[in-house]
Structure 1
């Protein structure tokens, strides 16, 4: 899966500078900007948000508070954003899960498109298929052979039912023509803990959330899930390189607010995020994590949310993933 973003929607440094010059400076305020993460601590998006938090505070000119509100595949945190006042003080940093949920949950407390104001798709983060260090497989070919030889012996983990991590695992099994038991967790943190301990044997994880454990040898990389290798982990081959030619999944992350935000507030928030993610410290952190940063315009973000919702509805049907 490639992050399909129109280049016309990308903001370069020059465009951002011109936009900032045409707008009044961000108002100083004692009121914090609350950025809700509908995922647990330790996930890929959490790692990104923590790295960018100081720069976001400077760009907004006011305190920024990062708040994890995990639960129900991201629905709990997204609900808090949907119910908030559209004043730019409560925002959500969402991943693919936001537009996947309508396809997998029978009932939703909000409309994932109409009840939010998309502000920018900030970028994408690599996903990687990993295995516990004691699993006797060093690459995709060996893991597939092991799964075919012992179909009932291996379990694969996910950060929750119906998440992008779950669907990425299902897609691997389908394309490899193998089976394994799915073990869902309540977030990336506990999932990674059990992967390291060997309670589960393999699973897909965001690269930033697993990098240190790959370096320590606690888990082993089987293959990157995207179409290309990551500069942050150039030695890890893609699954496509290893024979799964149609396998291409990556995680994206985007900022959105409640519905009916005023255009001026949308522009203010958008420009603050662009400025923060262009700061040298954040650029360095994103490069080390392997994230590709290409902020879109609000208009392109809205189009992207809709197109991704359509894409994942088809994938969820194909994987037969439905939740109450």
Structure 2
């Protein structure tokens, strides 16, 4: 009888602990939900968030507000979510630089791994190096030749220090034995604007952010960094096809919640994300207009993916002493 009593007591305690989470999930959502994008408007991360917002609003029945909180390599907006109440009202939709925040900013003040819960790896797109059509760079060989002839004069813009695009160009310079001048922007929008205007020689950005400019003739692709050529850039070789074996760099987008957000709330938001990104119009925009590859992972898969990316690219940050903007 005593053993049965203990079991009953344990069961009662477990039920009591689970009750608040269940109640929270049943009551949620009760008001507007904000999705924090830690970069300015105009870049691919902002575009992905705004593409998902109507579907999320339809699935959850509450207003979805996309809030841009840019600065410090994405750490300002990320910190807003890491320190937010775990009530399901604040979420983070971020970019690949998330993987190197702690390596890039040792005094960050929060831990992405400890203070955020993975929700979904939405997908990714290979990085592309592009230029204004009247610039003389038609291949990566042209870039190398110009950089060797005039060291430190060929400029490229990225979406910020520590983004995978910046790190990929750092590795390229080391492997090619050339020195380029890096111009760090606070997001994809400003970098693309200056590239189109010819202020910088080259821009490194995800296919998602550069594809509209390339298809519209405002930029010309020089090389792409995926494992294989994108259908929309069939005439542009990959880095591997250009003599750089094993050279692959992809941008990606993931969603996170504040740590300790109840699992049932995360599960319901994940379900709403699936519905939003499976909408045929969204799929068309992501895969064709933005040349992105949808993944739509589980939270567990997202956590493992980000851990791998963190290990690979944080090493580059440390090896080359990359510092924030």
Query: What TM-score range do you get, normalising by the shorter chain?
Result: 0.7 to 0.9
2:128 equivalent to 1:128 = yes
Q: List alignment gaps of at least 5 residues for structure 1.
A: 1-22
Asked if 2 retains the 8 angstrom alpha-carbon contact of 1:47 and 1:208, the reply is no
Report what 1:313 is aligned to. Answer: 314
Give a deviation string over 1:93-152, Cα, whole Å, max 9, x none: 012111211111231021011000111111112221112323212111222112112223
What is the RMSD computed on CA atoms of the aligned residues? 2.0
Partner SS state of residue 93, structure 1: strand
SS class of match (1:92) = strand
Q: CA deviation at 1:53?
A: 1.7
8 A contact 2:127–2:226 mirrored in 1 = yes
Q: Does the residue aligned with 2:233 lie in a helix, a strand or coil?
A: coil
Q: Is 1:271 equivalent to 2:271 in the alignment?
A: yes
Q: Verify the 8 A CA contact 2:127 2:225 in the aligned structure 1.
A: yes
The superposition leaves residues 183-214 of structure 1 with CA deviations (integer Å, 9 ceiling, x where unpaired) of 11222222112112222111211222222321
Q: Which secondary structure does the structure 1 equivalent of 2:289 belong to?
A: helix
Tell me the SS of whatever aligns to 1:114.
helix
Please give the residue correspondences for 1:172-183 in structure 2 after superposition, counting only pairs within 5 Å: 172-183=172-183
Q: 2:249 corresponds to which residue?
A: 249
Distance 2:282 2:216 in 1: 24
What is the distance in 1 between the residues matched to 2:212 and 2:299? Answer: 34
CA distance in 2, matches of 1:82, 1:165: 25
Which residue of structure 2 lines up, in the alignment, with residue 43 of structure 1?
Answer: 43
Q: State the match for 1:281 in structure 2.
A: 281
Counterparts of 1:171-320 in structure 2, within 5 Å, are 171-286=171-286, 287-320=288-321
* Larger-gyration structure (1/2): 2
Q: Please state how far the C-alpha of 1:288 moved relative to its aligned partner.
A: 2.5
Counterpart secondary structure, 2:241? coil
Distance of 2:301 and 2:271 partners within structure 1: 15
2:79 alignment counterpart: 79
Answer 1 or 2: which has greater helix percent: 2
Q: Tell me the distance in 2 between the aligned counterparts of 1:234 and 1:88.
A: 42
Is the deviation greater in 231-240 or in 277-286?
231-240
**Mapped partners of 1:289, 1:232: distance in 2:** 9
Unmatched runs of 5 consecutive residues or more in structure 2:
1-21
Aligned residues: 301
Q: Give the Cα separation in 2 of the matches to 1:272 and 1:307.
A: 26
Q: Bigger CA drift: 231-240 or 202-211?
A: 231-240
Following TM superposition, by how much is the alpha carbon of 1:239 offset from its aligned partner in structure 2, in angstroms?
1.6
Moved segments of 4+, more than 4 Å: 25-30
Residue aligning to 2:99:
99
Aligned to 2:151: 151
Q: Does the 8 Å CA contact 2:29/2:88 hold for their aligned counterparts? A: no
TM-score, normalised to structure 1, is 0.87
What is residue 57 of structure 2 aligned with on the other side?
Answer: 57
The answer to whether the Cα contact below 8 Å between 1:120 and 1:298 also exists between their aligned partners in 2 is: yes
Using a 3 Å threshold, how does the CA distance of structure 1 residues 182 and 300 change in structure 2: closer, same or farther?
Answer: same
What residue in structure 2 maps to residue 14 of structure 1? none
1:262–1:160 distance in 2 versus 1, CA, 3 Å: same
Contact 1:157-1:182 at 8 Å conserved across structures = yes
Instruction: Give the deviation of 1:30 after TM superposition.
Output: 5.7
Q: 1:210 to 1:179 in 2, by over 3 A?
A: same
Give the TM-score normalised by the residue count of structure 2: 0.87
308-317 vs 68-77, greater mean Cα deviation: 308-317
